[in-house]
Amino acid sequence: MKGERIARVERKTRETEIELTFSLDGTGSYTINTGIPFFNHLLELFTKHGRFNLELHGEGDIEVDFHHLVEDTGIALGDAFRIAIGDKGGIRRYSTSHVPMDEALVRICVDISGRPYLIYNVKIKNPQIVHFNAQLVEEFFRAFTHTAGITVHVDCLRGLNAHHIVEAIFKGFGIVLSEASEILYPDEEVPSTKGVL
């Protein structure tokens, strides 16, 4: 049987500094502080609905723009997922989820494939949510998928309210990542005819 699937990651650049501890097999507990309140909230939704554990502290040049810290958090968290999932032996590998939030309906599909690819089909007419621009969500997912080495499709099937759409995205991502990471095969067989992911 696999041991604890956990990772600790530090990422420091001239623009940002991020420290996190991520556990795949958690209870949904979190302590998250990036200095960007709405982004904290999105990461909390991801953690809670994925039943991960996440301790994350991030600082950056948010007085310039939120872009650097959001993107670098995606890189660091994707790296933590890649480390925690290990050789992917025994996992389910695939998952799809539809998440409604009021008028919004979002579909998230994931393949823990070893191949980074993102399809992000989300159009938001008014992307500003208080001080947070919902366009940054795509930057987060691009950074995460590239570093984690996974394939992710995000489709907003309908929706008008930016808040509802991005909350549904992060909830759905937590759900599918958790399901796809579930250990199904006690002999730790890799779910691929290639024998490796």
* Token pair listed for 38: 């709405």
**Whole-angstrom distance between the N-terminal and C-terminal Cα of the chain?**
19
pLDDT score for 117: 98
pLDDT, position 149 = 98
3-state secondary structure of 153: strand
Question: In this structure, how many other beta carbons lie within 10 angstroms of the beta carbon of residue 171?
Answer: 22
Predicted model pTM: 0.95
In the chain, which residue ranges form alpha helices assigned H by DSSP? 37-50, 67-85, 136-148, 162-181
Pick the CATH number of 6-181 from 3.40.640.10, 3.40.50.150, 3.40.50.300, 3.30.230.40: 3.30.230.40
Give the pLDDT of residue 1: 47
For the chain of 197 residues, list the mean pLDDT of each consecutive stretch of 10: 86 98 98 98 98 98 96 98 95 97 98 97 96 97 98 98 98 98 83 77
Domain ranges of the chain: 6-181
